Amino acid sequence: MRSTRWKAASRAAIALAGAGALAASMALFATAPASAGTTLGASAAEKGRYFGTAVAGFKLSDSAYTTILNREFNMVTAENEMKMNATEPQQGQFSYGAADQIVNHARSRGMSVRGHTLAWHSQQPGWMESMSGSALRQAMLNHVTQVATHFRGQVVAWDVVNEAFADGSSGGRRDSNLQRTGNDWIEAAFRAARAADPGAKLCYNDYNTDNWTHAKTQGVYNMVRDFKARGVPIDCVGFQSHFNNESPYVSNYRTTLSSFAALGVDVQITELDIQGASASTYRSVVEDCLAVARCNGITVWGIRDSDSWRASQTPLLFNSNGSKKPAYDAVLAALNNGTTPTDPPTDPPTDPPTDPPTTPPPGPGGCTATVSVNQWTGGFVANVRVTAGSSALSGWTVTIALPSGATVTNAWSANRSGNTGTTNWTNVAYNGQVGAGQSTEYGFQANGTAGSLSPTCSAR
């Protein structure tokens, strides 16, 4: 949903944990494998970086999948197996089998592992969804402590908190059950993670934070700056970078990376996928990372297009049959041609540039809704984007017909009517006002299979 001083050999990574020098971070991949220059991971390692991918545990039995995984990548992120509902399905009863499978596969082949994620408003187990207040806070902290302790020494970094900021113009926190336990919940999670695993790097991870001019980006930036000033243990910031027609790559992306890096944190591109797999855009993203000294790694969110949560957008580096796409060649060329940069500037811009954010052109009056789905066995998360047409919205309603057997278990940033069948969604107080051509998002988690969701939107 989204780190450390990276090295394929975990033993060395642990030994170096806690060292503050960027030089150590850059040196860890200095010794590249024999295939240097011919694979993504080896080429990234030559630049002191990693190139990773998200892995689904059930696909490790697919030999075509694992052939590419083992050949190309030197970092692994579990796609769903380390999330809260997977690791603590019943309160106090932890389940690590699926996550351990991924970790063991990666480490036995010299890959490092990023942990994803310790605390999130989404994909919570049912027992946690019904909790609130001090009981929820304590349960969250216990979850962070137990999971980080279990993987201590095996995971080089954690996305401690995922997607805690709201979309839109406020730049503030997302309303969630965790946020309602108190505004210090993120800080508390980071402190618990540091106590549980002092050797892991601790990251904040989010989406739609790529554009330096956006309020959400500035909100996260201000939190990180505050944490660094007060000594809250934060080591890195993850930029999911799910680029598509509605959330495109922007020319100030490098400014965003360098500005965060100048706060004294590492920056990583954690869930990269690009609609249509534009070779030029993939190359630009890699070049932007190489240009920022503390951008020490890139993770693509899946291997083949068929493995992607956005499979219909063909956003990855390999076709569904496992063949390399032009985007793969562009990424490899960028990694091989890149040079190790100097340190980032010490004085980042504190105010957004004057250029307005890139937005899709206004459509007809009213509104439209699109949906992206992350499906796993037995459940899914749907993120719905509401876009105003040629006139601003003062409120909106989205209708989604769920397939038989699908039941909504959790939702955020919208009011809902109905958990099964035809569901109606309306804006909450902070996201009803949407400017012409602008967008806002809400999401929900459900049991069952998503099928083909076709949301419709009406202004109100």
Residue ranges making up the domain that contains 426: 367-459
> CB within 8 A of 135, min separation 6: which ones?
none
Whether the pLDDT of residue 52 is over 50: the answer is: yes
Among 296, 318, 337, which residue terminates a domain? 337
> Quick one: pLDDT band at residue 339, thresholds 50, 70, 90?
low
Q: Give the CA distances from residue 88 to residues 125, 129, 377, 381, 421, in Å, rounded to whole numbers and listed in that order.
A: 7, 12, 16, 18, 29
How many separate domains does the chain show? 2
Does the residue 214 lie in any domain? yes
Residues 180 and 76 grouped into a single domain:
yes
Tokens encoding 410: 């959790």
Report how far residue 285's alpha carbon sits from residue 220's, in angstroms, rounded to the nearest whole number: 20
CATH number at residue 439: 2.60.40.290
Active-site option among 72, 88, 271, 441: 271
- Give residue 380's pLDDT: 79
End-of-domain residue from the set 293, 317, 337: 337
Best CA proximity match to 264, nearest among 219, 289, 227: 227
Q: What is the mean pLDDT of residues 57-61?
A: 96
Give, as one character, the DSSP assignment of residue 132: -
Place of tokens 């033993």: 11
pLDDT above 70 (res 7): no
- Give 323's contacts (C-beta < 8 A, 6+ positions apart): none
Query: What is the value of pTM for the model shown?
Result: 0.70
Confidence tier at 6 by pLDDT (50, 70, 90): very low
Q: Looking at the domain assignment, is residue 12 inside a domain? A: no
- Asked about 271 being catalytic, the answer comes back as yes
Q: Which of 345, 295, 294 is nearest to 286 (CA)?
A: 295
pLDDT bin (cut points 50, 70, 90) of residue 372 is: confident
Both tokens assigned to 101 = 């499978």
